[in-house]
Amino acid sequence: MAFSLSLAPTIWRQHRLEWGQQTYVMGIVNVTPDSFSGDGLRREELAPEEVVQRALVQAQAFVAEGARMIDVGGESTRPGFPAVSVQEEMQRVLPVIRALRASLPADVIISVDTYKAEVAEKALEAGADMLNDIWGLHKDSRMAQVAHAHGVPIVLMANMRETVKREIVSDVTRFLARSIDMALAAGVPWEHLVIDPGIGFGTTTHENLALLHRLGELRTLGRPILLGTSRKSIIGQILGGVPPEERVEGTAATVALGIAQGADIVRVHDVREMMRVVKMSDAVVRGSYTLPS
C-alpha cells in the first residue's frame, strides 16, 4: 500500500493539486523527430503549422481521456543524441504551448519538459504552467530562479548519466536532496517541488527494477513523486525485446505498482489505457472511486 504521508496541496495560479487523494495523469506530447517511443510529432515533411495542429489534436484527446496535465517536450532524451540548441527548442515548443493554452480548458496544466532556463522562461510566458527538468537543476541551476520568478511548480528528476553510482536508491535520494536544496535556496516554495526517480536515465535494468521496487523510500524526501516509465527500454527488455508500441501492458504494470508505492503523478504516452489502470489502482490503494448510480 502507498505510504500515508500527508502533504499540503500545491496551489498556484488557477491550479490546485491535492496529494494523496488521487493519482494525476500527465500525457506526453513530443514535438521531436527522434523520440525513443516513436511518438515524435515533428517530421521533415510536415509544415510547422501541421506539427502544431497534430500536437493540439493529441493533447485534446489526452484531456478527453482524463489527463490533467500535458507535458510538451522539444528535445529527445535518448542517450547519445545531440543536444538541441535553445533557439531550435523554442521554435519547436513555443507555438505548441501557445496553441494548447488557447484551446485547452483552463484547469489543464501545461508542463514544459526542458532543462534550459531560457526555454523555460519563454515557455512560461507562452502559457505553460509548470516546469519539468530532467536534470533536476544540475545542468542549469537558473531553472530554479525561473520557477521562483513565475511562481510555478517544478519537477526535479534524478539523472545518473554523469554520476558515479554506488547504491542506486541512495544515489538517487542524494541527487534529489541536492536538487531540493538548490530549489529552496533560489526561493522556490517547498509546496512547489515534485520529485522523479529518473527511470532509465543513466540506470541499468537491474537499477531501474530496484528503483521501482523501492520507490516508496523516496517518500522520505517529503515531496510528491512523478513516475515516468511509459514505453521505456526496461519494459522492452523484460518482455523479450518488444518495440515501444507493444509496451502498453508492461507500462500498466509499472504504473499500478508505482501507485502502490506512493506515486502521485504518472507520465504516459497511452492516456486512455493508463487512466483505467490509475482508476483501478486508486480504488485499491487510496480507496478513491465512484460507483455508477
Give the start-to-end residue ranges of the domains of the chain: 21-285
* Closest residue by Cα to residue 17 from 264, 233, 251: 264
| Active-site annotation holder among 166, 232, 247, 276 | 232
Do the Cβ atoms of 81 and 54 come closer than 8 Å? Answer: no
160 close to 169: Cβ distance less than 8 angstroms: no
Cβ contacts of residue 215 below 8 Å, gap of 6+?
Answer: 197, 225, 227, 258, 261, 262, 263
Domain 21-285 grouped into CATH 3.20.20.20 = yes
pLDDT tens-place values along the chain, 293 residues long: 444 568 999 999 999 999 999 999 999 999 988 554 445 455 556 788 899 999 999 999 999 999 999 999 999 887 777 789 999 999 999 999 999 999 999 999 999 999 999 999 999 999 999 999 999 999 999 999 999 999 999 999 999 999 999 999 999 999 999 999 999 999 999 999 999 999 999 999 999 999 999 999 999 999 999 999 999 999 999 999 999 999 999 999 999 999 999 999 999 999 999 999 999 999 999 998 989 88
Name residue 98's amino acid: R
The structure's pTM equals 0.94
Catalytic residue (one of 42, 122, 219, 267) = 267
Residue 144: predicted pLDDT = 98
Using H for helix, E for strand and C for coil, what is the string for 78-89? CCCCCCCCHHHH
**H or E stretch at 10:** strand 10-12
Q: Can 101 be counted among the known catalytic residues? A: no
Confidence (pLDDT) at 37: 45
Determine the longest span between alpha carbons in the chain, in angstroms. Answer: 55
* Residue 184: partners with Cβ closer than 8 Å, 6 or more residues away: 190, 193
Rounded distance between C-alpha atoms, residue 238 and residue 8, angstroms = 37
- 232 labelled catalytic: yes
